[in-house]
Amino acid sequence: MEMSETPMGTVEIAPNVFWVGAKDPNRRLFDGLIPLPHGTSYNAYLIIGSEKTVLIDSVNPGFEDELVDKISQHADPGKIDYIVMNHAEPDHASALMHMLSLAKGAKLVTSAKGKEAAMMYFHVPEDRIMVVDEGSTINLGGKTLKFVDAPWLHWPETMFTYLQEDGVLFPCDFYGSHIAYGEFFADEFGEGHTLELAKLYFAEIMMPFRKPAMKAIEKTKQLNPKVIAPSHGVMYRRPELIVDAYTDWAGEKMRKKVLIAYVSMWGRTEHMVKALREALVHKGIETQVFDLTVTGIGEVAKQLIDSPVVVIGAPTVLGGVHPVAAYAALLTKTLRAPTKYAAVLSSHGWSGGAVRQLGEILGGTKIEMLGVVDAKGPASDDDISKVLQLADDIEKKLNELS
């Protein structure tokens, strides 16, 4: 399939199918939570059939004019017939009313839950909305849109749109990545580099929704698209790259790996972390250690995808857990990481509290606590013996998993 970038920055990804989105390299945070070291993009797509013209999703607030300029290179924005809303989150949907006001005859096409969201968030009049569900089609003239039910990726109303004749799948957030570089396709950007960033994105956005993700992956495999065109980051003209990766990540394909995330004030917790790391490495167990004071929380989230064991290292501060470690533990719970086992290494001076509070944070999960070492002051020989015992216990559990 031929794909080419036009002089004005749109990209033809199939005949009369154009990327008309916006790149946002300066954005550094998403949802007030997720770090974006490489910015992101809001990918919208224009499809021109012989009879009807469609816009697939839109852009983040502030990029409306850029979207309209790009559409105008290929079609009259006022003559758009359908605006598909695969997802109602504002980074894709907040420009919809702007587009509907330009294209006065256009219908907003979305799922039943998408209709509720469009009316609630964007005050789209009910008579401008056309509801579609699994298997619904729209004929554009030589091109057919087919809609795929794909809820909870990552809000309840999400769906995919598939352009049958050209084999292009538009899954909105799913299969996305936060990348705002010049390259548009994974093979241009570098597939290895793409997967690293896609994995980071999966951890932060899709990891809590692994079950609906697996259903959507199966549907993708049945469609067997030639191109996957998500609404963030690069597109895939070798779709199996991202589909296979998602199959591993959503399918909880674990490594024989231990993730240790720690913070240490005076090196006492760190001393136990180092002892545990050394023992695990000696046993040939992949061990990734992150000092939370210098590691972005996104990197920890990414490692949670395939780490069956997570060890939190944190001292007691003012009767509770060090807040930086509390954040890491809460993130593990919030992202519903597939963690099987956890352990805590801690130290305290005149009172404990870190271990109790970490237990409270991780409470209500299916994570089994393998062990706790809570040293009073610097770790004693007895404390280090407990750390070494913990390494043995971790090895045993990992062997049972494999």
Rounded CA separation 25/40 (Å): 6
In the range 155-174, which residues lie near ligand FEO by CB under 6 A?
Answer: 173
CB of 24 to ligand FEO, least distance (A): 11
Dig out the tokens for 329 from the structure: 């533990």
Q: Which of 266, 257, 261 is nearest to 345 (CA)?
A: 261
Q: If binding is defined by CB under 6 A, does position 204 make contact with ligand FEO? A: no
**How many positions of this chain bind ligand FEO (CB under 6 A)?**
8
Q: Which of 112, 119, 156, 155 is nearest to 134 (CA)?
A: 112
Mark residues 61-100: x for contact with ligand FEO by CB under 6 A, - for none: --------------------------x-x-xx--------
Residues 161-175, buried b or exposed e (16+ Cβ, 10 A)? Answer: bbbeebbbbbbbbbb
In the range 170-199, which residues lie near ligand FEO by CB under 6 A?
Answer: 173
CB of 228 to ligand FEO, least distance (A): 15
* Structural Rg of the chain based on CA atoms: 24
Q: What is the DSSP string of 155-215?
A: STT-EEEEETTTTEEE-TTTT-----SS--BHHHH-HHHHHHHHHHHIIIIIGGGHHHHHH
Judged by beta carbon, residue 66 or residue 89, the one nearer ligand FEO is 89
Mark residues 128-157: x for contact with ligand FEO by CB under 6 A, - for none: --------------------------x---
CB atoms within 10 A of CB 318: 9
CB of 159 to ligand FEO, least distance (A): 13
Among 52, 178, 232, 340, binds ligand FEO (CB under 6 A): 232
Judged by beta carbon, residue 92 or residue 277, the one nearer ligand FEO is 92
CB of 151 to ligand FEO, least distance (A): 13
Dig out the tokens for 337 from the structure: 């990481």
* Residues that bind ligand FEO in the complex, under the rule CB under 6 A: 87, 89, 91-92, 154, 173, 231-232
